[in-house]
Chain A
Amino acid sequence: MAEPALSIRGLTKVYGNGFHALKGIDLDVPEGDFFALLGPNGAGKSTTLGIVCSLVQKTAGQVKIYGIDIDRDFAKAKYHLGVVPQEFNFSQFEKVEDIILAQAGYYGLSLRQAKPRCDQLLKDLGLWDKRHGPARMLSGGMKRRLMIARALIHRPRLLILDEPTAGVDIELRRSMWDYMRRINREEGTTIILTTHYLEEAESLCRNIAIINHGEIVRNTSVRDLLTELDTETFLLDLARPIVEAPRIEGFDVEKVDSAQLALSVRKGQRLNDVFAQLSDQDMQVVSMRNRANRLEELFVSMVEGNNAKAEAKRAAQEEVRQ
Protein backbone atom coordinates (compact mmCIF):
# COMPACT_ATOMS: atom_id res chain seq x y z
CA MET A 1 0.00 0.00 0.00
CA ALA A 2 1.30 3.51 -0.89
CA GLU A 3 2.57 5.66 1.96
CA PRO A 4 0.11 8.39 2.96
CA ALA A 5 1.10 11.90 1.95
CA LEU A 6 0.92 12.82 5.61
CA SER A 7 0.85 10.53 8.59
CA ILE A 8 0.58 11.85 12.14
CA ARG A 9 0.73 9.69 15.26
CA GLY A 10 0.28 10.82 18.86
CA LEU A 11 1.10 14.43 18.03
CA THR A 12 1.24 16.50 21.18
CA LYS A 13 2.05 20.14 21.72
CA VAL A 14 2.26 21.86 25.06
CA TYR A 15 3.22 25.54 24.83
CA GLY A 16 5.53 27.22 27.33
CA ASN A 17 2.56 28.64 29.24
CA GLY A 18 1.26 25.10 29.86
CA PHE A 19 -1.50 25.26 27.22
CA HIS A 20 -2.17 21.80 25.69
CA ALA A 21 -2.72 22.77 22.05
CA LEU A 22 -2.63 19.17 20.78
CA LYS A 23 -3.47 16.10 22.85
CA GLY A 24 -1.94 13.21 20.95
CA ILE A 25 -3.74 13.38 17.61
CA ASP A 26 -3.59 10.72 14.87
CA LEU A 27 -4.25 11.63 11.26
CA ASP A 28 -3.63 10.12 7.81
CA VAL A 29 -3.99 12.01 4.55
CA PRO A 30 -3.82 9.70 1.52
CA GLU A 31 -1.79 10.63 -1.55
CA GLY A 32 -3.76 12.69 -4.07
CA ASP A 33 -6.42 13.64 -1.52
CA PHE A 34 -8.08 17.01 -1.13
CA PHE A 35 -8.39 17.12 2.64
CA ALA A 36 -9.96 19.66 4.97
CA LEU A 37 -8.88 20.23 8.54
CA LEU A 38 -11.65 22.12 10.26
CA GLY A 39 -12.11 23.48 13.73
CA PRO A 40 -13.00 26.63 15.63
CA ASN A 41 -10.34 29.25 16.40
CA GLY A 42 -7.72 27.91 18.81
CA ALA A 43 -8.71 24.28 18.17
CA GLY A 44 -5.19 23.25 17.10
CA LYS A 45 -5.35 23.42 13.28
CA SER A 46 -2.53 25.91 12.77
CA THR A 47 -0.40 24.24 15.46
CA THR A 48 -0.75 20.91 13.66
CA LEU A 49 0.20 22.40 10.31
CA GLY A 50 2.93 24.52 11.93
CA ILE A 51 4.57 21.35 13.26
CA VAL A 52 4.34 19.67 9.85
CA CYS A 53 6.03 22.72 8.28
CA SER A 54 8.70 23.04 11.02
CA LEU A 55 7.43 26.42 12.21
CA VAL A 56 6.33 24.98 15.56
CA GLN A 57 8.27 22.49 17.67
CA LYS A 58 6.31 19.43 18.72
CA THR A 59 6.33 18.16 22.28
CA ALA A 60 5.80 14.50 21.33
CA GLY A 61 4.58 12.27 18.54
CA GLN A 62 5.57 11.34 15.04
CA VAL A 63 5.03 13.09 11.71
CA LYS A 64 5.81 11.43 8.37
CA ILE A 65 5.62 13.16 5.01
CA TYR A 66 5.47 10.59 2.21
CA GLY A 67 6.95 8.08 4.64
CA ILE A 68 9.84 10.32 5.68
CA ASP A 69 9.99 10.85 9.43
CA ILE A 70 10.62 14.55 10.06
CA ASP A 71 12.75 13.67 13.09
CA ARG A 72 15.09 11.65 10.87
CA ASP A 73 15.35 13.68 7.67
CA PHE A 74 13.29 16.86 7.78
CA ALA A 75 15.27 18.40 4.90
CA LYS A 76 14.27 15.53 2.57
CA ALA A 77 10.66 15.70 3.75
CA LYS A 78 10.55 19.44 3.11
CA TYR A 79 11.17 18.91 -0.62
CA HIS A 80 7.69 17.35 -0.80
CA LEU A 81 6.05 20.18 1.08
CA GLY A 82 4.63 23.51 -0.06
CA VAL A 83 3.15 25.88 2.49
CA VAL A 84 0.69 28.75 2.19
CA PRO A 85 0.32 30.22 5.69
CA GLN A 86 -2.59 32.16 7.13
CA GLU A 87 -0.65 35.42 7.51
CA PHE A 88 1.32 37.18 4.79
CA ASN A 89 4.91 36.14 5.36
CA PHE A 90 7.03 37.72 2.65
CA SER A 91 9.05 40.90 2.49
CA GLN A 92 6.67 43.64 1.40
CA PHE A 93 9.52 45.57 -0.21
CA GLU A 94 10.72 42.90 -2.60
CA LYS A 95 9.53 42.42 -6.14
CA VAL A 96 6.89 39.74 -6.72
CA GLU A 97 9.10 37.74 -9.08
CA ASP A 98 12.12 37.99 -6.78
CA ILE A 99 10.13 36.52 -3.89
CA ILE A 100 9.22 33.44 -5.91
CA LEU A 101 12.68 32.99 -7.40
CA ALA A 102 14.37 33.39 -4.01
CA GLN A 103 12.17 30.60 -2.66
CA ALA A 104 13.28 28.41 -5.58
CA GLY A 105 16.88 29.22 -4.66
CA TYR A 106 16.28 28.10 -1.06
CA TYR A 107 15.29 24.71 -2.48
CA GLY A 108 18.53 24.60 -4.47
CA LEU A 109 16.90 25.32 -7.84
CA SER A 110 19.04 27.36 -10.20
CA LEU A 111 17.61 30.42 -11.92
CA ARG A 112 17.60 28.51 -15.23
CA GLN A 113 15.47 25.75 -13.67
CA ALA A 114 13.14 28.06 -11.77
CA LYS A 115 12.45 30.87 -14.25
CA PRO A 116 10.11 28.99 -16.68
CA ARG A 117 8.11 27.54 -13.76
CA CYS A 118 7.96 30.96 -12.11
CA ASP A 119 6.67 32.58 -15.32
CA GLN A 120 4.02 29.89 -15.68
CA LEU A 121 2.83 30.28 -12.09
CA LEU A 122 2.70 34.07 -12.42
CA LYS A 123 0.52 33.70 -15.52
CA ASP A 124 -1.71 30.97 -14.08
CA LEU A 125 -2.34 32.96 -10.92
CA GLY A 126 -2.94 36.28 -12.64
CA LEU A 127 0.20 37.99 -11.32
CA TRP A 128 2.10 38.35 -14.59
CA ASP A 129 1.49 42.09 -14.95
CA LYS A 130 2.58 42.71 -11.37
CA ARG A 131 5.77 40.64 -11.45
CA HIS A 132 8.19 43.57 -11.42
CA GLY A 133 6.35 45.56 -8.75
CA PRO A 134 6.95 45.42 -4.99
CA ALA A 135 4.76 42.96 -3.11
CA ARG A 136 3.30 45.71 -0.91
CA MET A 137 1.48 47.13 -3.95
CA LEU A 138 -0.57 43.97 -4.42
CA SER A 139 -4.18 43.65 -3.26
CA GLY A 140 -5.00 41.18 -0.47
CA GLY A 141 -6.17 38.53 -2.93
CA MET A 142 -3.05 38.94 -5.06
CA LYS A 143 -0.84 38.58 -2.00
CA ARG A 144 -2.55 35.26 -1.25
CA ARG A 145 -1.96 34.13 -4.83
CA LEU A 146 1.67 35.20 -4.55
CA MET A 147 2.05 32.88 -1.55
CA ILE A 148 0.46 30.04 -3.55
CA ALA A 149 2.88 30.63 -6.45
CA ARG A 150 5.79 30.71 -4.02
CA ALA A 151 4.66 27.46 -2.37
CA LEU A 152 4.39 25.69 -5.73
CA ILE A 153 7.68 26.81 -7.27
CA HIS A 154 9.51 23.59 -6.34
CA ARG A 155 6.61 21.33 -7.45
CA PRO A 156 5.70 19.95 -4.01
CA ARG A 157 3.64 16.77 -3.79
CA LEU A 158 1.86 17.99 -0.67
CA LEU A 159 0.45 21.51 -0.50
CA ILE A 160 -0.74 22.92 2.81
CA LEU A 161 -3.14 25.85 2.61
CA ASP A 162 -3.96 27.54 5.90
CA GLU A 163 -7.12 29.58 5.23
CA PRO A 164 -6.06 30.50 1.70
CA THR A 165 -9.20 32.41 0.79
CA ALA A 166 -9.64 34.44 3.98
CA GLY A 167 -10.60 37.98 3.04
CA VAL A 168 -10.79 37.16 -0.67
CA ASP A 169 -13.85 38.27 -2.66
CA ILE A 170 -16.25 35.66 -4.03
CA GLU A 171 -15.15 35.85 -7.66
CA LEU A 172 -11.49 35.50 -6.79
CA ARG A 173 -12.27 32.75 -4.29
CA ARG A 174 -14.01 30.76 -7.03
CA SER A 175 -11.04 31.18 -9.39
CA MET A 176 -8.66 30.05 -6.63
CA TRP A 177 -10.88 26.99 -6.04
CA ASP A 178 -10.69 26.17 -9.75
CA TYR A 179 -6.90 26.46 -9.65
CA MET A 180 -6.61 24.23 -6.59
CA ARG A 181 -8.93 21.65 -8.12
CA ARG A 182 -6.81 21.71 -11.27
CA ILE A 183 -3.47 21.09 -9.56
CA ASN A 184 -5.06 18.37 -7.43
CA ARG A 185 -6.59 16.65 -10.48
CA GLU A 186 -3.95 17.25 -13.16
CA GLU A 187 -0.69 17.33 -11.19
CA GLY A 188 -1.82 14.92 -8.48
CA THR A 189 -0.84 17.37 -5.74
CA THR A 190 -2.21 16.34 -2.36
CA ILE A 191 -3.88 19.35 -0.74
CA ILE A 192 -4.60 19.93 2.92
CA LEU A 193 -6.80 22.90 3.58
CA THR A 194 -7.96 24.69 6.69
CA THR A 195 -10.81 27.09 6.25
CA HIS A 196 -13.62 28.86 8.04
CA TYR A 197 -15.75 28.75 4.90
CA LEU A 198 -17.41 25.38 5.26
CA GLU A 199 -18.91 25.78 1.82
CA GLU A 200 -15.31 25.74 0.60
CA ALA A 201 -14.55 22.46 2.35
CA GLU A 202 -17.80 20.89 1.12
CA SER A 203 -17.16 22.01 -2.43
CA LEU A 204 -13.47 21.10 -2.68
CA CYS A 205 -12.60 18.33 -0.28
CA ARG A 206 -13.10 14.59 -0.37
CA ASN A 207 -12.07 13.90 3.22
CA ILE A 208 -12.35 15.92 6.34
CA ALA A 209 -11.11 15.99 9.93
CA ILE A 210 -12.68 18.13 12.61
CA ILE A 211 -10.41 19.18 15.44
CA ASN A 212 -11.53 20.75 18.70
CA HIS A 213 -9.68 21.36 21.98
CA GLY A 214 -6.59 19.69 20.48
CA GLU A 215 -8.39 16.43 19.67
CA ILE A 216 -9.70 15.00 16.42
CA VAL A 217 -13.48 14.87 16.84
CA ARG A 218 -14.21 13.26 13.46
CA ASN A 219 -12.12 12.02 10.54
CA THR A 220 -14.13 10.75 7.60
CA SER A 221 -15.21 11.49 4.03
CA VAL A 222 -17.30 14.58 3.33
CA ARG A 223 -19.96 12.36 1.75
CA ASP A 224 -20.25 10.10 4.82
CA LEU A 225 -20.33 13.09 7.09
CA LEU A 226 -23.18 14.70 5.21
CA THR A 227 -25.28 11.52 5.38
CA GLU A 228 -25.12 11.90 9.17
CA LEU A 229 -26.97 15.17 8.91
CA ASP A 230 -30.42 14.19 10.17
CA THR A 231 -32.01 17.61 10.38
CA GLU A 232 -31.94 20.45 7.89
CA THR A 233 -33.45 23.85 8.43
CA PHE A 234 -35.19 25.65 5.57
CA LEU A 235 -36.32 29.25 5.42
CA LEU A 236 -39.68 29.69 3.71
CA ASP A 237 -40.65 33.10 2.32
CA LEU A 238 -44.40 33.63 2.41
CA ALA A 239 -46.56 35.53 -0.06
CA ARG A 240 -48.57 37.26 2.70
CA PRO A 241 -47.58 38.38 6.21
CA ILE A 242 -48.60 36.25 9.18
CA VAL A 243 -49.24 37.01 12.84
CA GLU A 244 -48.08 33.73 14.34
CA ALA A 245 -46.38 30.55 13.13
CA PRO A 246 -48.78 27.94 11.75
CA ARG A 247 -49.04 24.44 13.29
CA ILE A 248 -47.75 21.82 10.85
CA GLU A 249 -48.28 18.23 11.97
CA GLY A 250 -44.96 16.38 12.48
CA PHE A 251 -42.70 19.39 11.84
CA ASP A 252 -41.08 22.10 14.00
CA VAL A 253 -41.92 25.54 12.65
CA GLU A 254 -40.78 28.90 13.96
CA LYS A 255 -41.71 32.37 12.84
CA VAL A 256 -38.59 34.31 11.82
CA ASP A 257 -40.50 37.48 10.94
CA SER A 258 -43.91 38.35 9.57
CA ALA A 259 -43.10 36.95 6.12
CA GLN A 260 -40.65 34.13 6.91
CA LEU A 261 -40.79 30.74 8.59
CA ALA A 262 -37.96 28.46 9.75
CA LEU A 263 -38.81 24.81 9.14
CA SER A 264 -36.85 21.85 10.55
CA VAL A 265 -37.00 18.74 8.38
CA ARG A 266 -35.72 15.43 9.71
CA LYS A 267 -34.34 12.66 7.52
CA GLY A 268 -37.24 10.76 5.87
CA GLN A 269 -39.77 13.56 6.20
CA ARG A 270 -41.40 14.85 3.00
CA LEU A 271 -41.63 18.52 2.09
CA ASN A 272 -44.86 17.78 0.19
CA ASP A 273 -46.59 17.27 3.54
CA VAL A 274 -45.50 20.74 4.63
CA PHE A 275 -46.75 22.44 1.47
CA ALA A 276 -50.06 20.56 1.62
CA GLN A 277 -50.68 21.66 5.20
CA LEU A 278 -49.65 25.27 4.45
CA SER A 279 -52.02 25.35 1.46
CA ASP A 280 -54.84 24.09 3.71
CA GLN A 281 -54.14 27.07 5.98
CA ASP A 282 -54.15 29.41 2.95
CA MET A 283 -50.45 30.17 3.10
CA GLN A 284 -48.42 30.41 -0.09
CA VAL A 285 -44.65 29.85 -0.20
CA VAL A 286 -42.91 31.99 -2.81
CA SER A 287 -39.33 30.79 -2.23
CA MET A 288 -37.22 28.64 0.07
CA ARG A 289 -33.55 28.03 0.91
CA ASN A 290 -31.30 26.29 3.42
CA ARG A 291 -30.75 28.37 6.54
CA ALA A 292 -27.08 27.37 6.69
CA ASN A 293 -24.63 25.37 4.69
CA ARG A 294 -25.22 21.67 5.40
CA LEU A 295 -21.70 21.03 6.57
CA GLU A 296 -21.88 24.10 8.74
CA GLU A 297 -24.88 22.72 10.63
CA LEU A 298 -23.08 19.46 11.21
CA PHE A 299 -19.87 21.20 12.20
CA VAL A 300 -21.63 23.42 14.72
CA SER A 301 -23.49 20.48 16.26
CA MET A 302 -20.28 18.42 16.55
CA VAL A 303 -18.22 21.21 18.03
CA GLU A 304 -20.98 22.11 20.47
CA GLY A 305 -21.31 18.44 21.47
CA ASN A 306 -17.56 18.20 21.96
CA ASN A 307 -17.48 21.42 23.97
CA ALA A 308 -20.24 20.08 26.24
CA LYS A 309 -18.30 16.82 26.74
CA ALA A 310 -15.09 18.73 27.51
CA GLU A 311 -16.98 20.90 30.00
CA ALA A 312 -18.51 17.84 31.71
CA LYS A 313 -15.09 16.17 31.92
CA ARG A 314 -13.58 19.31 33.42
CA ALA A 315 -16.40 19.54 35.96
CA ALA A 316 -15.94 15.86 36.92
CA GLN A 317 -12.19 16.38 37.41
CA GLU A 318 -12.91 19.44 39.51
CA GLU A 319 -15.31 17.41 41.67
CA VAL A 320 -12.73 14.64 42.21
CA ARG A 321 -10.13 17.25 43.19
CA GLN A 322 -12.47 18.71 45.81
Chain B
Amino acid sequence: MNPMQILISLWTLVVKEVRRFTRIWPQTLLPPSITMTMYFIIFGNLIGSRIGEMDGISYMAYIVPGLIMMSVITNSYSNVASSFFSNKFQRSVEEMMVSPMPNWVILSGFVLGGMARGLGVGLIVTLVSFFFTDLNIHHPLVTLGVVTMTATLFSIGGFINALLAHKFDDISIVPIFVLTPLTYLGGVFYSINMLPEFWQSVSLANPILYMVNAFRYGILGVSDIPVGGALVAIALFIVAFFVLALWMLERGKGIRS
Protein backbone atom coordinates (compact mmCIF):
# COMPACT_ATOMS: atom_id res chain seq x y z
CA MET B 1 0.00 0.00 0.00
CA ASN B 2 1.23 3.49 -0.72
CA PRO B 3 1.28 6.13 2.08
CA MET B 4 -2.05 7.63 0.97
CA GLN B 5 -3.74 4.21 0.98
CA ILE B 6 -2.30 3.50 4.42
CA LEU B 7 -3.66 6.81 5.68
CA ILE B 8 -7.11 6.04 4.23
CA SER B 9 -7.19 2.56 5.80
CA LEU B 10 -6.07 3.93 9.19
CA TRP B 11 -8.65 6.73 9.03
CA THR B 12 -11.37 4.21 8.09
CA LEU B 13 -10.58 2.09 11.11
CA VAL B 14 -10.38 5.03 13.52
CA VAL B 15 -13.67 6.51 12.29
CA LYS B 16 -15.30 3.09 12.61
CA GLU B 17 -14.04 2.74 16.18
CA VAL B 18 -15.13 6.24 17.21
CA ARG B 19 -18.51 5.67 15.57
CA ARG B 20 -18.86 2.45 17.57
CA PHE B 21 -18.43 3.96 21.02
CA THR B 22 -20.40 7.13 20.23
CA ARG B 23 -23.29 5.01 18.83
CA ILE B 24 -23.57 3.27 22.19
CA TRP B 25 -22.85 6.39 24.29
CA PRO B 26 -25.25 5.39 27.11
CA GLN B 27 -22.96 2.40 27.69
CA THR B 28 -19.63 4.10 27.04
CA LEU B 29 -19.70 7.82 27.79
CA LEU B 30 -22.51 8.30 30.27
CA PRO B 31 -21.66 5.76 33.05
CA PRO B 32 -18.14 7.10 33.81
CA SER B 33 -19.46 10.66 34.10
CA ILE B 34 -22.16 9.54 36.56
CA THR B 35 -19.73 7.37 38.58
CA MET B 36 -17.17 10.15 38.79
CA THR B 37 -19.83 12.67 39.83
CA MET B 38 -20.66 10.29 42.71
CA TYR B 39 -16.96 10.19 43.67
CA PHE B 40 -16.81 13.99 43.64
CA ILE B 41 -19.95 14.30 45.78
CA ILE B 42 -19.19 11.56 48.30
CA PHE B 43 -15.40 11.54 48.60
CA GLY B 44 -14.72 15.13 47.63
CA ASN B 45 -17.61 17.05 49.10
CA LEU B 46 -18.99 15.02 52.01
CA ILE B 47 -15.97 13.10 53.32
CA GLY B 48 -13.33 15.43 51.86
CA SER B 49 -14.57 18.42 53.85
CA ARG B 50 -13.73 16.49 57.04
CA ILE B 51 -10.32 15.36 55.76
CA GLY B 52 -9.12 18.89 55.12
CA GLU B 53 -5.99 19.38 53.01
CA MET B 54 -3.60 16.88 51.40
CA ASP B 55 -0.09 18.09 50.47
CA GLY B 56 -1.38 21.63 51.07
CA ILE B 57 -4.25 21.25 48.60
CA SER B 58 -7.97 20.85 49.30
CA TYR B 59 -8.97 17.16 49.25
CA MET B 60 -11.49 17.73 46.46
CA ALA B 61 -8.82 19.27 44.19
CA TYR B 62 -6.35 16.56 45.24
CA ILE B 63 -8.49 13.65 44.03
CA VAL B 64 -9.53 15.24 40.71
CA PRO B 65 -6.38 14.28 38.72
CA GLY B 66 -6.54 10.71 40.05
CA LEU B 67 -10.19 10.33 39.14
CA ILE B 68 -9.62 11.70 35.64
CA MET B 69 -6.72 9.31 35.21
CA MET B 70 -8.79 6.41 36.53
CA SER B 71 -11.45 7.13 33.87
CA VAL B 72 -8.85 7.38 31.11
CA ILE B 73 -7.19 4.09 32.10
CA THR B 74 -10.41 2.11 32.44
CA ASN B 75 -12.03 3.45 29.28
CA SER B 76 -8.99 3.18 27.01
CA TYR B 77 -8.42 -0.38 28.09
CA SER B 78 -11.97 -1.63 27.99
CA ASN B 79 -12.76 0.09 24.69
CA VAL B 80 -10.06 -1.75 22.77
CA ALA B 81 -10.50 -4.99 24.69
CA SER B 82 -14.25 -5.18 24.05
CA SER B 83 -14.16 -3.79 20.50
CA PHE B 84 -11.40 -6.07 19.23
CA PHE B 85 -12.80 -9.09 21.04
CA SER B 86 -16.25 -8.38 19.54
CA ASN B 87 -14.57 -8.29 16.14
CA LYS B 88 -13.03 -11.66 16.91
CA PHE B 89 -16.29 -13.04 18.26
CA GLN B 90 -18.36 -11.87 15.27
CA ARG B 91 -15.46 -12.83 12.96
CA SER B 92 -15.52 -9.35 11.45
CA VAL B 93 -11.79 -9.23 12.21
CA GLU B 94 -11.54 -11.30 9.00
CA GLU B 95 -12.55 -8.18 7.04
CA MET B 96 -9.24 -6.68 8.07
CA MET B 97 -7.23 -9.87 7.79
CA VAL B 98 -8.14 -10.48 4.15
CA SER B 99 -7.35 -6.87 3.23
CA PRO B 100 -3.85 -5.64 2.39
CA MET B 101 -3.85 -3.38 5.46
CA PRO B 102 -0.55 -3.89 7.37
CA ASN B 103 -0.81 -5.24 10.91
CA TRP B 104 0.69 -2.10 12.42
CA VAL B 105 -2.17 -0.10 10.89
CA ILE B 106 -4.75 -2.47 12.39
CA LEU B 107 -3.08 -2.14 15.81
CA SER B 108 -2.75 1.66 15.50
CA GLY B 109 -6.38 2.02 14.40
CA PHE B 110 -7.70 0.22 17.47
CA VAL B 111 -5.26 2.03 19.78
CA LEU B 112 -6.29 5.42 18.41
CA GLY B 113 -9.94 4.43 18.86
CA GLY B 114 -9.24 3.46 22.48
CA MET B 115 -7.36 6.70 23.06
CA ALA B 116 -10.25 8.69 21.61
CA ARG B 117 -12.65 7.13 24.10
CA GLY B 118 -10.23 7.34 27.05
CA LEU B 119 -9.40 10.98 26.40
CA GLY B 120 -13.03 11.79 25.58
CA VAL B 121 -14.21 10.38 28.89
CA GLY B 122 -11.27 12.13 30.62
CA LEU B 123 -12.48 15.41 29.15
CA ILE B 124 -16.06 14.77 30.31
CA VAL B 125 -14.85 14.00 33.85
CA THR B 126 -12.67 17.14 33.80
CA LEU B 127 -15.70 19.23 32.81
CA VAL B 128 -17.76 17.61 35.58
CA SER B 129 -15.00 18.42 38.09
CA PHE B 130 -15.40 22.15 37.30
CA PHE B 131 -18.73 21.98 39.12
CA PHE B 132 -16.92 20.98 42.31
CA THR B 133 -13.54 22.73 42.25
CA ASP B 134 -11.35 25.18 40.36
CA LEU B 135 -8.46 23.65 38.47
CA ASN B 136 -5.43 25.73 37.54
CA ILE B 137 -3.23 23.60 35.35
CA HIS B 138 0.38 24.12 36.43
CA HIS B 139 2.18 22.30 33.60
CA PRO B 140 -0.08 21.92 30.55
CA LEU B 141 2.48 20.01 28.45
CA VAL B 142 3.17 17.48 31.20
CA THR B 143 -0.57 17.10 31.80
CA LEU B 144 -1.31 16.52 28.12
CA GLY B 145 1.74 14.29 27.62
CA VAL B 146 0.99 12.02 30.59
CA VAL B 147 -2.70 11.59 29.86
CA THR B 148 -2.04 10.86 26.16
CA MET B 149 0.72 8.37 26.93
CA THR B 150 -1.39 6.65 29.57
CA ALA B 151 -4.33 6.31 27.16
CA THR B 152 -1.94 4.88 24.55
CA LEU B 153 -0.42 2.37 26.94
CA PHE B 154 -3.73 1.04 28.23
CA SER B 155 -5.25 0.90 24.76
CA ILE B 156 -2.39 -1.37 23.69
CA GLY B 157 -2.91 -3.38 26.89
CA GLY B 158 -6.58 -3.83 25.98
CA PHE B 159 -5.59 -5.01 22.51
CA ILE B 160 -3.25 -7.67 23.91
CA ASN B 161 -5.96 -8.80 26.31
CA ALA B 162 -8.45 -9.14 23.43
CA LEU B 163 -5.98 -11.13 21.33
CA LEU B 164 -5.48 -13.60 24.17
CA ALA B 165 -9.16 -13.77 25.20
CA HIS B 166 -11.30 -16.78 24.28
CA LYS B 167 -14.54 -15.65 25.89
CA PHE B 168 -16.11 -12.40 27.11
CA ASP B 169 -15.15 -13.21 30.73
CA ASP B 170 -11.49 -13.05 29.71
CA ILE B 171 -11.71 -9.36 28.85
CA SER B 172 -13.20 -8.39 32.20
CA ILE B 173 -10.69 -10.26 34.38
CA VAL B 174 -7.83 -7.75 33.97
CA PRO B 175 -9.94 -4.59 34.54
CA ILE B 176 -11.63 -6.07 37.63
CA PHE B 177 -8.78 -7.93 39.27
CA VAL B 178 -5.74 -5.96 38.12
CA LEU B 179 -6.54 -2.45 36.94
CA THR B 180 -9.10 -1.48 39.58
CA PRO B 181 -7.00 -2.52 42.62
CA LEU B 182 -3.83 -0.98 41.16
CA THR B 183 -5.69 2.27 40.42
CA TYR B 184 -7.23 2.48 43.90
CA LEU B 185 -3.83 1.73 45.43
CA GLY B 186 -2.08 4.09 43.01
CA GLY B 187 -2.58 7.20 45.10
CA VAL B 188 -5.86 8.38 43.59
CA PHE B 189 -7.39 9.13 47.01
CA TYR B 190 -4.29 9.58 49.17
CA SER B 191 -0.64 10.55 49.18
CA ILE B 192 1.69 7.59 49.67
CA ASN B 193 3.52 9.73 52.23
CA MET B 194 0.63 8.86 54.56
CA LEU B 195 1.57 5.17 54.44
CA PRO B 196 4.08 3.36 56.70
CA GLU B 197 7.52 3.10 55.10
CA PHE B 198 7.07 -0.55 54.10
CA TRP B 199 3.82 0.13 52.21
CA GLN B 200 5.36 3.19 50.61
CA SER B 201 8.05 0.92 49.13
CA VAL B 202 5.41 -1.59 48.01
CA SER B 203 3.41 1.21 46.37
CA LEU B 204 6.44 2.21 44.31
CA ALA B 205 6.10 -1.10 42.43
CA ASN B 206 2.67 -0.03 41.18
CA PRO B 207 3.03 1.50 37.66
CA ILE B 208 -0.28 3.36 37.94
CA LEU B 209 1.10 5.32 40.90
CA TYR B 210 3.59 6.98 38.53
CA MET B 211 0.91 7.91 36.01
CA VAL B 212 -1.47 9.32 38.62
CA ASN B 213 1.29 11.32 40.28
CA ALA B 214 2.79 12.60 37.04
CA PHE B 215 -0.69 13.74 36.01
CA ARG B 216 -1.31 15.32 39.42
CA TYR B 217 2.00 17.12 39.07
CA GLY B 218 0.88 18.47 35.69
CA ILE B 219 -2.37 19.80 37.12
CA LEU B 220 -1.59 20.68 40.75
CA GLY B 221 2.19 20.88 40.75
CA VAL B 222 2.58 18.23 43.51
CA SER B 223 3.81 14.66 43.21
CA ASP B 224 4.98 11.78 45.41
CA ILE B 225 7.49 10.60 42.81
CA PRO B 226 10.05 12.10 40.37
CA VAL B 227 8.04 13.03 37.27
CA GLY B 228 10.83 12.79 34.66
CA GLY B 229 11.49 9.14 35.50
CA ALA B 230 7.75 8.40 35.35
CA LEU B 231 7.48 9.84 31.83
CA VAL B 232 10.45 7.81 30.60
CA ALA B 233 9.04 4.63 32.20
CA ILE B 234 5.62 5.13 30.54
CA ALA B 235 7.29 5.74 27.15
CA LEU B 236 9.35 2.56 27.49
CA PHE B 237 6.26 0.55 28.43
CA ILE B 238 4.44 1.90 25.36
CA VAL B 239 7.25 0.80 23.05
CA ALA B 240 7.50 -2.64 24.68
CA PHE B 241 3.74 -3.26 24.63
CA PHE B 242 3.39 -2.04 21.03
CA VAL B 243 6.17 -4.37 19.87
CA LEU B 244 4.62 -7.27 21.79
CA ALA B 245 1.12 -6.63 20.39
CA LEU B 246 2.46 -6.32 16.86
CA TRP B 247 4.46 -9.52 17.19
CA MET B 248 1.37 -11.36 18.41
CA LEU B 249 -0.66 -9.97 15.53
CA GLU B 250 1.99 -11.00 12.98
CA ARG B 251 1.99 -14.49 14.45
CA GLY B 252 -1.81 -14.56 14.20
CA LYS B 253 -2.09 -15.21 17.93
CA GLY B 254 -5.75 -15.77 18.80
CA ILE B 255 -7.01 -14.92 15.31
CA ARG B 256 -5.47 -17.43 12.88
CA SER B 257 -5.61 -21.21 13.13
Contacts and interface: CB of A to CB of B under 8 A. Distances in A.
Contact of A109 (B8, B87, B92, B252): B8
B95 interface: yes
A108 B5 contact: yes
Contact of B97 (A55, A76, A98): A55
Contacts of B11: 105
Interface string B1-41: 11011101101110010010001000000000000000000
Interface string B92-110: 1011111111100000000
A87 B5 contact: no
B8 A89 contact: no
A55 B8 contact: no
A108 B11 CA distance: 10
Contacts of A75: 1, 100, 102
Interface string B189-217: 00000000000000000000000000000
B95 A105 contact: no
Nearest to A75: B100
Interface residues of A, number: 35
Contacts of A150: 95
Nearest to B93: A89
A18 to B, nearest CB: 14
Contacts of A191: none
A90 B257 contact: no
Contacts of B58: none
A63 to B, nearest CB: 14
Given A75-B100, A78-B99, A103-B99, A85 B94 contact: yes
Contacts of B97: 53-55
A220 interface: no
A75 B12 CA distance: 18
Interface residues of B, number: 30
A107 B9 contact: yes
A285 B181 CA distance: 83
A50 B256 CA distance: 9
B1 A91 contact: no
A312 interface: no
B12 A102 contact: yes
B148 interface: no
A83 B91 CA distance: 13
A37 interface: no
A15 interface: yes
Nearest to B94: A89
Interface in A27-51: 50
Q: Is the interface of B mostly helix, strand, loop or mixed?
A: helix
A53 B256 CA distance: 11
A277 interface: no
Contacts of B252: 57
A106 B94 contact: no
A236 B173 CA distance: 66
Given A53-B98, A91-B92, A110 B256 contact: no
Q: Which of B16, B100, B252 has the most CB of A within 10 A?
A: B100
A92 interface: yes
Contact of B100 (A57, A76, A91, A102): A76
A12 to B, nearest CB: 14
Nearest to B105: A106
Q: Which of B13, B86, B97 has the most CB of A within 10 A?
A: B97
A79 interface: yes
Contacts of B99: 78, 103, 106-107
B8 A57 contact: no
A106 B19 CA distance: 16
A89 B12 contact: no
Interface in A120-160: 150
A109 B100 CA distance: 12
A150 to B, nearest CB: 7
Contacts of A87: 91
25 contacts: A15-B257, A53-B94, A53-B98, A54-B97, A55-B97, A55-B98, A55-B257, A56-B257, A78-B99, A79-B100, A81-B98, A83-B98, A88-B91, A89-B90, A90-B92, A90-B95, A91-B87, A91-B90, A106-B99, A106-B100, A107-B99, A108-B2, A108-B101, A109-B5, A110-B8
Given A83-B98, A87-B91, A108-B5, 14 more contacts: A15-B257, A54-B97, A54-B98, A55-B98, A78-B99, A85-B91, A89-B94, A90-B90, A91-B90, A93-B23, A105-B8, A106-B95, A107-B100, A108-B2
Interface of B: 1-2, 4-6, 8-9, 11-13, 16, 19, 23, 86-87, 90-92, 94-102, 252, 256-257
The 6 A-B pairs at the shortest CB distance, nearest first, are namely A108-B5, A105-B12, A106-B99, A89-B91, A75-B100, A78-B100
